[in-house]
Structure 1
Amino acid sequence: MQLPNLLKTPSILQRLQWVADPIGYMEKAAQQYPDIFTTVLLSSQDPWVFVNHPQAIQEILINDRKKFAALSTKNKILQPLIGDYSVIMLDGDRHKRRRQMVMPSFHGDRMRSYGQIISKITEKVLSQLPTNQPFSARTVMQDISLQVILEAVFGLYQGERCQQLKHLMALMSDLFRSPLTSSFLFFPFLQQDLGAWSPWGKFVRDREQMDKLLYAEIAERREKPNSNGIDILSLLMSARDEEGEPMTDQELRDELMTLLFAGHETTATAMAWALYWTHHQPEVREKLLRELDTLGDNPDPMSIFRLPYLTAVCNETLRIYPVAMLTFARVVQEPVELLGYLLEPETTVVGCMYLVHQRKDLYPEPKQFKPERFLERQFSAYEFIPFGGGSRRCIGEALAQFEMKLVLAKILSGYDLALVDNQPEQPKRRGVTLAPANGVKMVITGRRARQESQLTMAST
């Protein structure tokens, strides 16, 4: 089978490069083959075709299940984290039905109730940080996003189970904090339980403790159902598929693990990057503050969400270093031509979000942080693609964007912060995502009073 632009480096070396330096790996390949290339990351018997041409990605995603199918077998890397029955791990009609059951939790009036939760938690966490003492923005954002998830997903505000879940989630997430420890996901032979003191053994035991907590929460909800609950678990437990069937305990557990991992880790990283860029480029922060100040004191969350420059800042943050680098893989179902290449059935194809966002024909000076580019033109869903696309587009996209905007607005409006040093923050692998290598070290220099808008000042 003739594959498009096959990279010649041996499979094991490609996988090592992919784990240790994913950006370097992708950019080097794209220099040779700008639109499409074939990797042997997993093995020479299972090549993956990387695509970063927007029209080709569109063809892949809109033809999902016809010419290209998303198969859960290609997502096995996530199985140790989220199990076998999450929406991510389902195929075909089962995936469609589950997605329809989960989606209502992230739309409509639910967002308004989550807005109050997000603002309250952000203020609580920031108010507890000492002035003029360095902290890791990535760690603080993870604390905020995890507490948001616990309240929005479980309705848990305090208590022993809430604290245990927070502690265990932090421990389990921390295993994959670096490229070295992320190797456990990419090299399954490393997933050896050699006892509680071994890295994987500790992860397995932490996961077992997490399962006990989740199943205990589910059991209590089964005994005392709350039809008026606005948290996501209540909604999932009351949801029914087309045949009137609810989710099993195992299915609920796997969906909860997906929401916990995907819902707080990725959002925390995006918010840390946003804090970095708005302080690395003071002119961006000042322009954003002028926009925020026009809303007055105690603005409505939806008014914040609709601010154009805040939206542009968040979009540019997600463009320059998208937290997820790739779309979910698709498998060719019938012979199909893509960018002039004939792809045979069983070929694995993946859209490369990072490389799309680095295309100079779409984003001139792509290494520069320029929010204005999102005010100057509209990008299609296949040119700006931080949440994936097609039937596998991120379910939590609306909540993630809402949280990112509200947290950034709350922090910048209420606090004066500064970066600890002016060294550029670089992205590195954290599990299957990109995160700031040094965690974005910052200090709070004081509280900030809202400035009167220029319009008000001019009228006095």
Structure 2
Amino acid sequence: MARPLPYMERCRERYGDVFTMRIAQEGTWVFLADPDAVREVFTGDPAVFHAGEANRILRPWLGANSVLLLDEAPHLAQRRLLLPPFHGERMQRYGELMTEIAQRNVESWPVEEPLRLWPQMQAVTLDIIVRTIFGLEEGERMDRLRARLRDGAEMTTAWPTMAAMALLGPDRVGASRAFRTRIEPIDEVVFAEIRRRRGATDLAERDDILSMLLQARHDDGSPMSDQELRDELMTLLIAGHETTATSLAWAVERLLRHPGAMARLRDGDEEYLDAVVKETLRLRPVLPVVVRKLKAPVTIGGWDLPEGATVTPCIHLIHRRADVYPEPARFRPERFLEQPAGTYTWLPFGGGVRRCLGASFAQFEMKAVLRVIAGARRLRPVNPEPEPVRRRAITLTPGRGTEVIASAG
């Protein structure tokens, strides 16, 4: 739990590209660091490879209807309802909003004083996700929702919560009075927004995600229930806030140690900006693994695996393969200008039918925010040494919070 990346690297050195771990409350996990084995998982039968069941640790926060916790037909049905808001053309409309929020935040940074950038990126991505999901303008409702969600994000990523999950399992934690006391205030404001929006007469003219989901229909013509909406909105809020904020903090942390890369970014090279995002997500993935629970015996990479095991394509180890990425520990965005990201060798958003719905949104958002930072401020690191990777619940964050000193652009 304390140093997962060096541990996984030592396991690969000792055992090879496939190795087994046994984890409290989770059972047997089989780690895969070979692209061919990862392809077998991502192209395998979804009735055999259950991602929803494997993600059960998230149930207390997201709820039983979350697309991340469903499998087979229910998963596909819910995924179809969630796809339209992330359509490319519609997503482009959010670009101006993202830029506006980022500019407002960057302009508030103190000049020539130490600043932890990671909390700033959390504030930016929280505002972006709340505005795009709920379509709220600044005001009392926005402030209340933002405050409750910030509290929820802290709870989901706190060490005590992680320790409780490991010791007791998600079902017992989710049923506890302590947990309900923290989650119920968030549910209160989310359900209130759902009820208020159901009564709106301009749903068809709005482009926020909640309004679009209220107009979505299941195959039988029925609308999504309030509980379904709550669970999917919480999924988008939690999955789309903390992860993108951390990736942005890592991008700046890496750029600060590579002044040439930052200078090229300031020149407005859009292709290079895209490569910076991809290289950041390769070298510093926020999540080190994806998981699938086996519902039948399978053979993967020549190994016979039993029903009930969890197969674990290891993002971190795949991204550090020298045969795919020469000098894998080096931050070198140019590699993605020389060759495109591979389907089974670049995995920050998972893959197959379970690939993250918000993958394009997250990359689009990262580019919008980095564009503002590069153009508005000149940054230098407080400490010349690279920041260590710090585990924060299930995510991997900059150990010092990306400490910078900003000067006027």
How many angstroms does 1:177 deviate by?
Answer: 4.6
* 2:276 matched residue in structure 1: 313
The structure 1 residue matched to 2:210, chosen from 233, 258, 278, is: 233
The aligned counterpart of 2:119 is 139
Alignment root-mean-square deviation, CA = 1.9
Q: Does 1:48 align with 2:24?
A: no
Alignment pair present for 1:425 and 2:407: no
Distance (whole Å) between structure 1 residues aligned to residue 179 and residue 251 of structure 2: 30
Which deviates more from structure 2 when the two are superposed, residues 225-234 or residues 385-394?
225-234
Question: What CA distance in whole angstroms lies between the structure 1 residues aligned with 2:57 and 2:206?
Answer: 33
Secondary structure (helix, strand or coil) at the match of 1:47 reads: strand
Q: Which runs of 5+ in 2 are unaligned?
A: none
Give the structure 2 partner of residue 407 of structure 1: 369
Equivalents in 2 of 1:390, 1:183: separation in Å?
31
Matched letter for residue 195 of structure 2: A
Question: Secondary structure of 2:19's match?
Answer: strand
Q: Distance in 1 between matches of 2:32 and 2:334?
A: 27
Q: Does 1:443 align with 2:401?
A: no
Secondary structure, counterpart of 1:63 in structure 2: coil
CA separation of 1:176 and 1:256: change in aligned 2, threshold 3 A: closer
Once the two structures are superposed, residues 437-456 of structure 1 have per-residue CA deviations (whole angstroms, 9 ceiling, x without a partner) of 1110112111x2xxxxxxxx
What is the total number of aligned residue pairs between the two structures?
A: 406
Is 1:365 the counterpart of 2:327? The answer is yes
Contact 1:71–1:331 (CA under 8 A) maintained in structure 2: no
Instruction: Please name the residue that 1:170 is paired with.
Output: 150
Matched, 1:223 2:186: no
Distance 2:169 2:39 in 1: 36
Give the alignment of 1:117-136 within 5 angstroms.
117-136=97-116
- Counterpart contact for 2:58–2:170, Cα < 8 Å: no
Residue of structure 2 in register with 1:457 after alignment: none
| Residues 179, 152 of structure 1: alpha-carbon distance in 2 compared, 3 angstrom cutoff | same
Q: Sequence identity of aligned pairs in percent?
A: 38
Q: Pairwise mapping of residues 179-328 of structure 1 onto structure 2 (< 5 A)?
A: 179=159, 182-188=162-168, 203-225=179-201, 226-292=203-269, 307-328=270-291
1:105 aligns with 2:85: yes
Deviation at 1:168, TM superposition (A): 1.9
What TM-score, normalized to structure 1?
Answer: 0.84
| Residue aligning to 1:16 | none
Equivalent position amino acid for 2:189 in 1: L
Q: For each residue in 1:374-422, what CA deviation from the matched residue of structure 2 results, as whole angstroms up to 9, or x when unmatched?
A: 1122332110111000111101111100000110011101211221111
Q: 2:132 aligns with which of 152, 171, 186?
A: 152
Query: Structure 1 pair 332/360, CA: closer, same or farther in 2 (3 Å)?
Result: farther
Residue 454 of structure 1: aligned partner: none
Tell whether 2:369 aligns with 1:388.
Answer: no
What are the Cα deviations for residues 32-64 of structure 1, in whole angstroms up to 9, with x where unaligned?
123111110135x82111111111111111113
Which position in structure 2 is the counterpart of 1:25?
Answer: 7
**Which runs of 5 or more residues in structure 1 are unaligned?**
1-18, 194-199, 293-306, 449-460
Q: 1:82 aligns with which of 51, 62, 70?
A: 62
Q: Is the 8 A contact 2:136 2:142 kept in 1?
A: yes
Distance 1:367 1:82 in 2: 34
Contact 2:53 2:70 in 1 (8 A): no
Shift of the 147–384 alpha-carbon distance from structure 1 to 2, 3 Å rule, reads same
SS of 1:291's partner is: coil
Secondary structure of 2:278's aligned partner: helix
Could you tell me which of 288, 310, 331 is aligned with 1:348? 310
Cα pair 1:320 1:367 within 8 Å, conserved: yes
In 1, are the aligned partners of 2:53 and 2:293 still within 8 Å (CA)?
no
- Equivalent positions of 1:57-96 (< 5 A) are 57-65=38-46, 68-96=48-76
**Alpha-carbon distance in 2 for matches of 1:271, 1:189:** 31
Q: CA deviation at 1:181?
A: 5.1
Q: 1:381 to 1:26 in 2, by over 3 A?
A: same
> Which letter maps to 1:323?
V
Q: Distance in 2 between matches of 1:380 and 1:190?
A: 34
Q: Distance in 2 between matches of 1:108 and 1:73?
A: 30
Change beyond 3 A, Cα 1:122–1:110: same
Kept in 2: contact 1:150–1:157 (CA 8 A): no
> What residue identity is the alignment partner of 2:99?
S
Q: Take 1:243 and 1:324, find their aligned partners in 2: how far apart are those partners?
A: 36
Q: Residues 320 and 328 of structure 2 are in contact (CA less than 8 Å); yes or no, is this contact kept in structure 1? A: yes
Query: Distance between the aligned counterparts of 1:250 and 1:191, measured in 2?
Result: 18
